């Protein structure tokens, strides 16, 4: 396969970890998607991974993401927005992304729904839950999640697909297990509250990163968001 050999090794290493984690807990490896978190890395780094077969990329910063999308328009990539959403940024997100992982209030969902081009397929969305009640983290509370999910599911232009979380940091990867397991239970509760047609499509749990993806998969993650293990250490972001 063409491309940077080191990029190929890193990608194969992460995919091997996903396969091993699934085997260890009796899951089909095809049930877990790898989302490459490319924030702060340039379009060349994304292209290098894309030519190895990776086609799903997650971005946190809107303007940076839009520039990369333009530079990589010749590639058939799936773009996920995984950063906090400001009200004044919803239109370009609704117009330029396939997935959004960070819907945490109805106002944002309403705007994304209204601004999603009707010529496009529905925007795939996840409700972000602040599972550990961290003051520094975005996301609705677990108690708020069922009502928010049901409200989002009813909006045109959006398709509610599941939940997303970033648990509190722990000294060891296994320390995140209780938060991941709580997310899986919450997803099950919400799924049972949705109308049958919508419940069937509520099938995604976005959780787990480079250090703890195995723990997340064991708890039921279907999307793992991996950056460092694929791209290496992040360069400092220039906000100037």
Tell me how far CA of residue 146 lies from CA of 29, 83, 103, 164, 230, in angstroms: 29, 21, 13, 13, 34
CA geometry: angle 7, 10, 11, nearest 5 deg = 85
Span 88-146, pLDDT tens digits: 999 999 999 999 999 999 999 999 999 999 999 999 999 999 999 888 889 999 999 99
Q: Which residues of 92-118 are buried (b: 16+ CB within 10 A; e: fewer)?
A: ebbebbebbbbbbbeebbbbbbeebee
Instruction: Calculate the average pLDDT of the chain.
Output: 95
- pLDDT more than 90, % of the chain: 90
pLDDT at 199 over 70: yes
Q: Report if residue 240 sits inside a domain.
A: no
Would you state the pLDDT for residue 236? 67
Q: Report if residue 159 sits inside a domain.
A: yes
Tokens coding 4: 């940077």
Q: Report if residue 184 sits inside a domain.
A: yes
Residue 226: enclosing H or E segment and its boundaries?
Answer: strand 223-226
Number of domains in the chain: 1
Of 38, 9, 16, nearest in space to 227 by CA: 38
Would you state the pLDDT for residue 136? 82
Domain hosting residue 102, numbered range: 5-231
- The C-alpha atoms of residue 45 and residue 4 are separated, in whole angstroms, by 10
Span 166-183, pLDDT tens digits: 999 999 999 999 999 999
- Which CATH number is 190's domain given? 3.20.20.10
Average pLDDT over residues 58-66: 98
Q: Give 170-213 as a DSSP string.
A: -SSGGGGHHHHHHHHHHHHHHHHHS-HHHHHH--EEE---TTTH
Would you state the pLDDT for residue 237? 62
Of 73, 78, 74, 76, nearest in space to 59 by CA: 78
Average pLDDT over residues 69-84: 98
Q: Report if residue 236 sits inside a domain.
A: no
């Amino acid at each position: 396969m063409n491309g940077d050999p080191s990029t190929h090794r890193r990608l194969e290493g992460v995919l091997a970890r996903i396969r091993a984690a699934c085997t260890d807990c009796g899951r089909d490896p095809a049930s877990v998607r790898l989302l490459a978190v490319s924030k702060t890395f340039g379009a060349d780094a994304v292209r290098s991974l894309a030519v190895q077969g990776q086609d799903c990329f997650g971005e946190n910063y809107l303007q940076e993401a839009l520039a990369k999308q333009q530079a990589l328009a010749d590639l058939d990539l799936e773009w996920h927005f995984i950063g906090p959403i400001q009200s004044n940024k919803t239109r370009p997100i609704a117009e330029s992304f396939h997935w959004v992982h960070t819907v945490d209030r109805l106002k944002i969902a309403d705007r994304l729904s209204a601004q999603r081009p009707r010529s496009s397929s529905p925007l795939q969305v996840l409700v972000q839950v602040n599972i550990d009640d961290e003051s520094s983290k975005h996301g609705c509370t677990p108690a708020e999640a069922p009502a928010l999910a049901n409200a989002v599911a009813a909006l045109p232009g959006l398709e509610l697909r599941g939940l997303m979380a970033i648990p509190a940091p722990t000294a060891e990867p296994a320390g995140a297990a209780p938060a991941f397991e709580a997310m899986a239970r919450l997803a099950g509760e919400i799924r049972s509250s949705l109308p049958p047609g919508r419940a069937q499509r509520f099938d995604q749990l976005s959780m787990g990163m480079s250090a703890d993806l195995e723990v997340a998969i064991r708890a039921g993650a279907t999307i793992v968001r991996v950056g460092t293990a694929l791209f290496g250490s992040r360069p400092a972001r220039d906000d100037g």
